[in-house]
Structure 1
């Protein structure tokens, strides 16, 4: 039954539709607050005071001041705040999202482990994106498994500590807002909007990194962003000396989690048809999100109030703040206002707008402004065109200077047999760079398939830009490939510098990359064991040639299966020399910014920034593993410990369980002695200490001997002796103690183009 007070309010509003009055935030007749906290509708304290049971607030009056509680998933949680900065959020204490683990520093055994998760899937609440998952620990991998609707998402970060870390150190979390960040003893993972279920976890990395654990305990927990320790996000590592709750129980701010709420489980297009539709007068519906149903209500523009209460939102009288300029009158209208200039004035009449200007003055100002704007635009266009022209001219001059200098420094010239093509010839070869001729795209540019006037099919790489980085890689590739003549190294046929974008011309290789042949093989042409062994032998021979037989030693620096291409006869060709380096004869290593591809990257190079010939050996060892196992170098489908193929392989071979990881075709076709010999060679190539790895010349020799043994098989006694010697070497390497240094370097993944030498047919 409608009360008398409600009828009076209804008639007053009906008499003056633009009348505005203070808008209540709570349901009439219900408590407005609990203790010091306002309780806005649809939340409410007491029977009938909320929109539903999901929004019932229990006010605990036994405390001073009284505290509000909300029952979520059967747990009574203290509400800290409702909608102070965003009416769609509440902030609650949630002291249960803490995962902790402690180890015995002597044995490495787990002495204590405790964890939990939050499940909001049956509630009107989800975790807000204004939360972090924070991991505090040394050499720990913090994981977050979340569900939004039916989809599962996983994210992780690494807390890494210097070897010199001690209990007085401070762990600092990176404040960049991204996952997979490495922090000093601390890291963070952002929580996505709409997360209904979240579980946290920890993985010990000390065994994988072959390091000694510095502290007994590690923790992972969820808390709201930016509430403590701003802006450093730092924690004293002494908390890693103590087991579980002490630090976290004393720091209540670490237990605060933000939640989003929504109405129902239908989106706006469905909900407005129902009698339970919550949005009242002068408000509009907003879908909560694409992955999760439910909606929220907002007051329409020009209105204020609580859109969930029965009277809806009320009109704002904008004229009270006089939004109109001098010589203008204000008129309030539903949801807005209007300004009208006095007679003899023109304009929109609004402050911050054009205001009101005398008619003649307005005409003169308009003409002058229009003319000035046109002149300014023309001047800017001319200056921009001149700057681009000058910049391009300078880059072209720098390119020619570099090539001329290199030409003078080498006795036979930089280009050697490399041809300088005419721009028109290459335009004709690609039908003026027709889109139908594109066979690949990459970070450096676009690759076209072309046919020269003599009928030769070629691949033509057209660089996108000529910036300093690409200029260096362009020159580097021209110089290196011009000095190499090897059947298993891709041939650079020439280049063209007489165009706006430099062009490189390569031999055309139609059968794609080794990566595709291993991981996405063609049914009509699978990789047999003999082919795999031949491919490994040819690649090793090419690298040995680069290291030892070329006029100047060359370190490739980006050996991986996507940089190994196949011609029409499935002969392999090593490609992509953009980040390769020429080495002086007496040099033992290069000190460079770390570049390469995760999964193939030499861990010793990663730690020291010193690239040696043995770094290429490590990358080749990973390619050997791909040929042996048919698995990818990095795979999220494997367990966390085995996501890196090298670690995965070493664990299996160390457990004398090699058959379990080998590719089915290798097991079926390969001779046992041959496969074991290649596997042991791969293990030697993957030794963490570079000096213990074989040289590429030794690798090539061993593989060539295996190929020759297929043609001239050795007797059983010789095979047995070879296995004994290889096994002895493996034992020698496995007994070596080593550890990584604590230096952390940024790793830049190779910016290889989509390969100019292959077809995507």
Structure 2
């Protein structure tokens, strides 16, 4: 498999030596993050193009397999909202992936305040998750691939805050083996509960994880809230919605600059995405369609057709009782 991958990848992307990576990264002097198996460094190619170099420092069979999986996955997929693979290094024990550099960091950094220089408004958050959803839809429908580690820290942002999904190291093809039993992988807080119980993987596991991200962009909170006691964001929002109010969960950094209709729609979509049974979740194609509606609503507000103070409420019974796979949002009465 390894020999086949090397032959395949060499036809499409550049293979770097370890010495070349040392030159690109100025001897690995600037750390910009940490991946699952090593540190990520900033670097410049000879033409001064900025790149990120993700190293693999664990000399284990699992690390080697995941490295090879990421190289293979990135070399086979091409979408404007997926991180572009520039090259890779497999030089003895030195393993690394070289990909485009995204200067704005991750969605998670902005939501948690780690990147405090700029606060993402509601419209920007909607655009980011829409673009990320389009990338996942492409993986599912165009590539027959499950990402397996969808989370806000794996949504990277370009200079103009365009979103690109990264870290395909855990990705697995499911077109011919959709429900195979595999090793449990993912990140706590984002993992599909059905997958954790059954070890059965399909694309709806990504949908669950994406539903958690939708809750993050509404609340500005991480998947596991620890202010008083540890509580998962899905349970937290369900408790708030049980009172019929959503105001308490909306990120205060918005300062009221949003249309409540679009917020409700995103919350409802998030609740459907995070249903316990995967069969009752929408597809990523459905998610893309409804996020486009949410973006359009917010665009109308920003053009002055809706006032930020206007609030409306939808019947939440469809969230808690409906088990239909159809995802539809009726017009919200004012």
TM over 0.5: yes
Contact kept in structure 2, 1:450 and 1:458, CA below 8 Å = yes
How far 1:708 sits from its partner (Å)?
A: 3.0
Contact kept in structure 2, 1:684 and 1:733, CA below 8 Å = no
SS in 2 for 1:481: helix
CA distance in 2, matches of 1:473, 1:548: 23
SS in 2 for 1:503: strand
SS in 2 for 1:509: coil
Q: Greater relative contact order: 1 or 2 (C-alpha under 8 angstroms, separation 6 or more)? A: 2
Aligned in 2, Cα 1:439/1:584: closer, same or farther, shift over 3 Å?
same
Q: Equivalent residues in 2 for 1:535-554 (5 A)?
A: 535-550=128-143, 553-554=144-145
The answer on 1:592 being equivalent to 2:182 is yes
The answer on 1:730 being equivalent to 2:319 is yes
SS in 2 for 1:459: strand
Match of 1:658 in 2: 246
How far 1:535 sits from its partner (Å)?
A: 1.0
CA distance in 2, matches of 1:560, 1:695: 17
How far 1:666 sits from its partner (Å)?
A: 4.2
Contact kept in structure 2, 1:555 and 1:583, CA below 8 Å = yes
Contact kept in structure 1, 2:18 and 2:94, CA below 8 Å = no
The answer on 1:577 being equivalent to 2:165 is no
The answer on 1:617 being equivalent to 2:210 is no
* Deviation per residue, 1:168-188 (Å, 9 max, x gap): xxxxxxxxxxxxxxxxxxxxx
Contact kept in structure 2, 1:440 and 1:448, CA below 8 Å = yes
Match of 1:417 in 2: 12
Segments of 5+ residues of structure 1 without an aligned counterpart are: 1-401, 717-722, 736-761
* Deviation per residue, 1:494-541 (Å, 9 max, x gap): 112234312211111222221110011545421101001111111111
Aligned in 2, Cα 1:416/1:545: closer, same or farther, shift over 3 Å?
farther
The answer on 1:705 being equivalent to 2:293 is yes
How far 1:582 sits from its partner (Å)?
A: 1.2
Match of 1:404 in 2: 3
The answer on 1:509 being equivalent to 2:97 is no
Match of 1:454 in 2: 47
CA distance in 2, matches of 1:707, 1:443: 33
Contact kept in structure 1, 2:110 and 2:116, CA below 8 Å = no
* Deviation per residue, 1:702-740 (Å, 9 max, x gap): 101222344468x99xxxxxx87x8564254279xxxxx
The answer on 1:682 being equivalent to 2:270 is yes
The answer on 1:668 being equivalent to 2:256 is yes
CA distance in 2, matches of 1:661, 1:635: 12
CA distance in 1, matches of 2:298, 2:59: 50
Match of 2:150 in 1: 559
CA distance in 1, matches of 2:132, 2:173: 19
* Deviation per residue, 1:39-71 (Å, 9 max, x gap): xxxxxxxxxxxxxxxxxxxxxxxxxxxxxxxxx
Q: RMSD across aligned C-alpha pairs, in angstroms? A: 2.6
How far 1:438 sits from its partner (Å)?
A: 2.9
Aligned in 2, Cα 1:438/1:661: closer, same or farther, shift over 3 Å?
closer
Match of 1:427 in 2: 22
SS in 1 for 2:91: coil
Contact kept in structure 2, 1:692 and 1:733, CA below 8 Å = no
How far 1:405 sits from its partner (Å)?
A: 3.0
Contact kept in structure 2, 1:425 and 1:452, CA below 8 Å = no
SS in 2 for 1:444: coil
* Deviation per residue, 1:174-209 (Å, 9 max, x gap): xxxxxxxxxxxxxxxxxxxxxxxxxxxxxxxxxxxx
Match of 2:331 in 1: none
CA distance in 2, matches of 1:684, 1:466: 41
CA distance in 1, matches of 2:32, 2:234: 32
CA distance in 2, matches of 1:522, 1:634: 19
CA distance in 1, matches of 2:2, 2:318: 47
SS in 2 for 1:496: strand
* Deviation per residue, 1:670-726 (Å, 9 max, x gap): 10111111111111111111111111110011101222344468x99xxxxxx87x8
Identify which of 593, 602, 619 aligns with 2:192.
Answer: 602
How far 1:573 sits from its partner (Å)?
A: 1.4
CA distance in 1, matches of 2:85, 2:140: 19
Aligned in 2, Cα 1:638/1:624: closer, same or farther, shift over 3 Å?
farther
CA distance in 2, matches of 1:576, 1:504: 10
* Deviation per residue, 1:432-477 (Å, 9 max, x gap): x24x333334451232222111111111223214321111101100
Structure number with the higher strand fraction is: 1
Aligned in 2, Cα 1:645/1:580: closer, same or farther, shift over 3 Å?
same
Structure number with the higher helix fraction is: 2
Match of 2:328 in 1: none
Q: Equivalent residues in 2 for 1:610-649 (5 A)?
A: 610-639=200-229, 643-649=231-237
CA distance in 1, matches of 2:97, 2:184: 26
Number of residue pairs matched?
Answer: 317
TM-score by length of structure 1 reads: 0.39
Q: Equivalent residues in 2 for 1:171-570 (5 A)?
A: 402-406=1-5, 413-414=8-9, 417-431=12-26, 433-434=27-28, 436-520=29-113, 522-550=115-143, 553-570=144-161
CA distance in 2, matches of 1:530, 1:659: 18
CA distance in 2, matches of 1:528, 1:734: 32
Contact kept in structure 2, 1:416 and 1:482, CA below 8 Å = no
Contact kept in structure 1, 2:261 and 2:297, CA below 8 Å = no
SS in 1 for 2:225: coil
